[in-house]
Structure 1
């Protein structure tokens, strides 16, 4: 089985490192590309390189934030099948509603505990373990806070 391809866009280096550490402890094979901002993420999506199965997208990033990235991704037919998981330190119900309407598949508030992060990542990525469903079955929108 091919590893689950993940793009992680987050400007906080510590958050990216913790994410990668937690991910490495899961019984799920993954391949991750990291981005510090939305501009670099979008450049990679437009590059012609293979697209990811899912994107973990921080909302508050310099140059181009998560809201703009989500909107751009959902407006490009070639990118519309990518599952987008918002991964943010904040939780605002109005923003969550806006993101759901904008096409996000899941909203995760960054947990305070490392073990919680591992559990959340496992639950979020488990549906992708079935290769045949990676591009065809959209995740039902869910919020994890």
Structure 2
């Protein structure tokens, strides 16, 4: 599984990568400290990700702007986008769902919680890629 993580918090990126290393699945992670780098990579000739984990509060280009740009480009429509943020405001979450996010992973306070939630999230994404699964993506909140 090819995972893109866009998050301006270096510690959060480190924890996220460490959690992925502990999940018994072959995964490769590409990290971006802002949305501009993420979008530049998506528009390059490099392979597209299987999933994007997207922080909301980033410099240069925030998560809302990235999600909007991602969902406006036809070649990115099938890429699941999981919002990965410490903030959790019901109105924002509803807006993100309407914008086309696949899910919302609220950043937990402990490493073990993060591991559990990322594991659930990655399995959900894996299930979405299965041919037997209805491709109508349901928005899921991982908390």
Q: Aligned partners of 1:86 and 1:129: how far apart in 2? A: 17
Cα distance change on mapping 1:139 and 1:131 into 2, 3 Å: closer
Question: RMSD over aligned Cα, in angstroms?
Answer: 1.7
Q: How does 1:59-98 map to 2 (within 5 A)?
A: 59-98=56-95
Report whether the alignment pairs 1:112 with 2:109. yes
Report whether the alignment pairs 1:16 with 2:8. no
Question: Structure 1 segments of 4 or more deviating over 6 A?
Answer: none
Q: Aligned partners of 2:85 and 2:63: how far apart in 1? A: 9
Cα distance change on mapping 1:83 and 1:20 into 2, 3 Å: same
Q: Which has the higher contact order (CA 8 A, sep 6+)?
A: 1
Q: Which residue of 2 is the match for residue 50 of structure 1?
A: 47
Q: Is the 2:82–2:105 contact (alpha carbons within 8 Å) kept by the matching residues of 1?
A: yes
| Structure 2: gaps spanning 5 or more residues | none
TM-score, structure 1 as length reference? 0.91
Q: Which residue of 1 is the match for residue 34 of structure 2?
A: 37
> Aligned pair count?
141
Q: Aligned partners of 1:131 and 1:95: how far apart in 2? A: 24
Q: Which residue of 1 is the match for residue 99 of structure 2?
A: 102
